[in-house]
């Protein structure tokens, strides 16, 4: 889940909804300055499906040792240092399942998802809280994902005819596109309050790379510069559930409150 703290509780968003929002951003990517990635349909599906494995976990949400919703929050934007709040083995299983959830149908997309997972758990992660056993588990998982990427690339070449898009350079830029859309979606989903650069520079029509900066303007409105989308103003519905309680003594009572909460929406606006 993704969580936003309110005066009397939390707004809770599902990971899959966050990823689908990232996919919706991808649908509008590209204009006179920025180009769409290729093969677009496979890259787009990687963006939109990169958190599909979280559906069972979000259906039975957890709480932290402190009694808070176990979820991604604004404090984690741009990094990941909350291993102390989670069961590492279970978390790695979900992350591995994210790759396998689309591997059979979309091996190219699955490769990008795996690259995203590896980056999240290496470059973006603070591993200092892991003990020796956890470090060994983490290392084995990363090695497994890197080997799986090689397998998936070969399957994609044969099944999807993606050979011309499987060079290290193209895969890297397509993975960085996933990361960029993901970081914008997380920024919107946690209602991040300050200026932030989206992850990774993106390819322009001139072949250069440009970073995109997101400027929150209040009321769930965000200005992007330089602007990467095909319309000057875009609006998106973001689904969430509202829980009017700060801390929870037990996971079952927390799950009951989440299950009973009605689906609500806020409108997120992106502008030039």
Burial (Cβ within 10 Å: 0-12, 13-18, ≥19) of residue 28:
middle
- pLDDT at residue 250, as a whole number: 93
Q: Does residue 56 carry a pLDDT above 90? A: yes
Q: Does residue 88 carry a pLDDT above 90? A: no
Q: How far apart are CA 93 and CA 144, in angstroms?
A: 12
Which 3 state secondary structure label does DSSP give 138?
helix
- pLDDT at residue 126, as a whole number: 81
Which residues is 215 bridged to in the sheet?
A: 223
Which 3 state secondary structure label does DSSP give 247?
coil
- Cβ-Cβ contacts under 8 Å for 46 (sequence gap 6 or more): 102, 106, 108, 109, 110, 111, 112, 113, 116, 174, 178
Q: How far apart are CA 231 and CA 227, in angstroms?
A: 9
Q: Does residue 230 carry a pLDDT above 80? A: yes
DSSP, res 229: B
Q: Does residue 57 carry a pLDDT above 80? A: yes
Residue 201: give the domain boundaries: 2-271
- pLDDT at residue 181, as a whole number: 98
Closest of 167, 65, 52 to residue 110, by C-alpha:
52
120 vs 42 pLDDT, higher one? 42
87 vs 235 pLDDT, higher one? 235
pLDDT category at 79 given cuts 50, 70, 90 is: low
- pLDDT at residue 129, as a whole number: 82
Tens digit of each residue's pLDDT (9 = 90 or more) over 180-212:
999 999 999 999 999 999 999 999 999 999 999
Half-sphere exposure of 29 (CA within 13 A, CB side): 28
Tens digit of each residue's pLDDT (9 = 90 or more) over 238-272:
999 999 999 998 999 999 999 999 999 999 999 99
Q: What is the CA radius of gyration of the chain?
A: 19
Of 58-72, 137-151, 161-175, which range is least confident? 58-72
Which 3 state secondary structure label does DSSP give 115?
helix
What is the number of structural domains in the chain? 1
Rounded to two decimals, the pTM is 0.95
**Mean pLDDT of all residues in 56-85:** 77
């Amino acid at each position: 889940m993704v969580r936003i703290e309110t005066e009397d509780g939390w707004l809770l968003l599902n990971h899959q909804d966050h990823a689908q929002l990232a996919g919706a951003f991808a649908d509008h990517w590209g204009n006179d300055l920025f180009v769409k990635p290729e093969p677009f349909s496979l890259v787009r599906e990687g963006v939109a499906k990169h958190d599909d494995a979280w559906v069972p976990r979000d259906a039975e949400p957890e709480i932290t040792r402190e009694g808070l919703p176990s979820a991604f929050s604004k404090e984690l934007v741009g990094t990941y240092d909350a291993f102390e709040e989670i069961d590492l083995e279970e978390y790695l299983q979900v992350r591995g399942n994210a790759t396998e959830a689309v591997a059979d149908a979309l091996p190219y997309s699955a490769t990008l998802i795996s690259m995203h997972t590896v980056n999240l758990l290496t470059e973006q992660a603070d591993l200092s809280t892991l003990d020796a056993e956890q470090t060994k588990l983490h290392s084995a998982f990363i090695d497994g994902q890197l080997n799986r990427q090689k397998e998936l690339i070969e399957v994609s070449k044969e099944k999807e005819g993606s050979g011309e898009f499987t060079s290290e350079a193209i895969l890297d830029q397509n993975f960085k596109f996933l990361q960029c859309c993901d970081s914008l979606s997380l920024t919107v989903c946690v209602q991040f309050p300050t200026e932030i650069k989206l992850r990774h520079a993106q390819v322009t029509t001139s072949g250069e790379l440009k970073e995109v900066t997101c400027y929150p303007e209040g009321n769930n409105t965000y200005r992007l510069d330089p602007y990467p989308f095909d319309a000057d103003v875009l609006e998106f519905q973001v689904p969430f559930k509202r829980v009017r309680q700060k801390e929870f003594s037990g996971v079952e009572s927390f799950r009951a409150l989440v299950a009973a909460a009605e689906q609500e929406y806020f409108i997120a606006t992106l502008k030039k």
